[in-house]
Amino acid sequence: MKEIPNLNYIIKISNGNRLFARNLLDILKKELPREIETYQLHLNDGDFTKTAGDVHKITHKIKILGLEKSCKMAEEYRRGLIRKSLTLKQDFEDLLTAMLIFIEKA
């Protein structure tokens, strides 16, 4: 079964502070689409080093959305990119889509 993005980590670190939780979610809504766009640009340019860096940045958002197993997959994908491998590309991009859908509804 695939992991589903959730707010558990955000709720935990906000310690009940709804304003903090909302602000963090707003930051995700603003930054994630930009980071994905940069990832796609570097990937399309064939710049594996920059693409791996983009995946690393996005990994922090994956953690914030409570996706521990997916975070490990993203890290494996990042290491593959360093070796110029796109083996986990589709899995990673499916994850990005799920994250975007989730934050838009949250």
Say if CB 14 and CB 20 are below 8 A apart. yes
Q: Does the reported pTM lie above 0.85?
A: yes
Mean pLDDT of the chain: 96
What average pLDDT score do residues 49-68 get?
Answer: 97
> Please, which pLDDT band fits residue 2 given cuts at 50, 70 and 90?
confident
What does the domain layout of the chain look like in residue ranges? 8-105
Say if CB 92 and CB 73 are below 8 A apart. yes
Q: What is the pLDDT of residues 88-101, one digit of tens each?
A: 999 999 999 999 99
DSSP H helical segments within 1-106, as ranges? 8-14, 18-44, 48-64, 68-82, 89-105
Which residue carries 């996706």 as its tokens? 67
What average pLDDT score do residues 33-50 get?
Answer: 98
Q: Around Cβ 57, how many Cβ atoms within 10 Å?
A: 13
Report the alpha-carbon distance of residue 104 to residue 106 in Å, rounded.
Answer: 6
> Please, which pLDDT band fits residue 1 given cuts at 50, 70 and 90?
low
> Which two tokens mark 45?
């340019």
Q: Around Cβ 29, how many Cβ atoms within 10 Å?
A: 13
CA angle 77–80–83, rounded 5-degree value: 160
Give pLDDT, residue 22.
Answer: 95
What average pLDDT score do residues 51-66 get?
Answer: 97
